[in-house]
């Protein structure tokens, strides 16, 4: 029988990862005890293993139970994402880890404040673009605007790129807040 090595998916020489090697972005929701040092431990897990955090949001969600929710947007291969979830689940103050990217439809939103300086036509163009994106003007001077935009991170990125040639000065972003849809 003449079978070329490595051609069959069942071959012992086929060493390709079952998960694939493509980099994916995942949103993780982590429920933790609200106590000193917990955030440092979670972040230490990422930095100690060389994992990158794209976005991080933390807030207390249960005052009586002293619980907080950490929403982390991270990137990696599917194997790395699985490893991150497993390692987060083993931390003592962690109660639950959900991968919102995999578990079903979710809603992701982010808030950004964007300062744009300009005069004349540039100023008018920035205001027109703000109307198209349904962006609020929260501060205005004779030389600048501060816009407030809420939406998906892609919407904020698109608005930011549109503002660059119109006099973008500064950006402050909150990070992604996400929640599962439905029951």
CATH number of 24-99: 3.30.70.260
> Cα–Cα distances in Å, from 97 out to 65, 68, 108, 112, 155?
17, 12, 17, 26, 27
Other beta carbons less than 10 A from residue 69's beta carbon: 20
pLDDT at res. 12: 47
Mean pLDDT across 14-39? 83
pLDDT digits (tens, 9 = 90+) for 125-152: 999 999 999 999 999 999 999 999 999 9
The arrangement of strands across the sheet holding 94-99 comes to: 53-62, 67-76, 24-33, 94-99
Cβ contact 63:34 at 8 Å: no
Domains 24-99 and 106-180 share a fold: yes
pLDDT at res. 183: 78
Rounded to whole angstroms, how far apart are CA atoms 1 and 127?
Answer: 73
CA angle, 39 then 42 then 43, to 5°: 85
Mean pLDDT across 49-60? 94
Where is pLDDT greater, at 182 or 131? 131
Count how many Cα atoms sit within 13 Å of the Cα of residue 57 in the half-sphere of its side chain: 17
Q: What does pLDDT average to over the chain?
A: 90
| Paired tokens of 113 | 């404040």
Cβ contact 58:68 at 8 Å: yes
**Topology of domain 106-180, CATH:** Alpha-Beta Plaits (3.30.70)
Structural domain spans, the chain: 24-99, 106-180
pLDDT at res. 21: 79
Does position 7 have pLDDT exceeding 50, yes or no? no
Whole-prediction pTM value? Answer: 0.80
φ, ψ of residue 11 in degrees (nearest 5): -70, 145
pLDDT at res. 8: 47
């Amino acid at each position: 029988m003449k079978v070329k090595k490595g051609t069959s998916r069942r071959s012992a020489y086929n060493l390709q990862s079952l998960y694939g090697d493509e980099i994916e972005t995942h949103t993780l929701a982590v429920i933790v005890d609200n106590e000193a040092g917990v955030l440092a431990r979670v972040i230490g897990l990422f930095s100690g293993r060389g994992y990158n955090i794209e976005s991080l949001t933390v807030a207390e969600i249960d005052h009586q139970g002293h619980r907080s929710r950490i929403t982390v947007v991270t990137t990696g291969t599917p194997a790395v994402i699985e490893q991150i979830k497993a390692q987060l689940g083993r931390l003592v103050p962690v109660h639950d880890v959900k991968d919102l990217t995999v578990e079903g439809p979710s809603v992701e939103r982010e808030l950004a404040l964007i300062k744009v300086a300009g005069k004349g036509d540039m100023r008018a163009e920035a205001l027109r673009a703000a109307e198209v994106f349904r962006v609020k003007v929260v501060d205005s001077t004779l030389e600048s605007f501060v816009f407030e935009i809420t939406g998906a991170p892609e919407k904020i990125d698109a608005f930011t790129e549109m503002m660059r040639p119109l006099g973008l000065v500064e950006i402050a972003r909150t990070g992604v807040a996400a929640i599962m849809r439905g029951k």
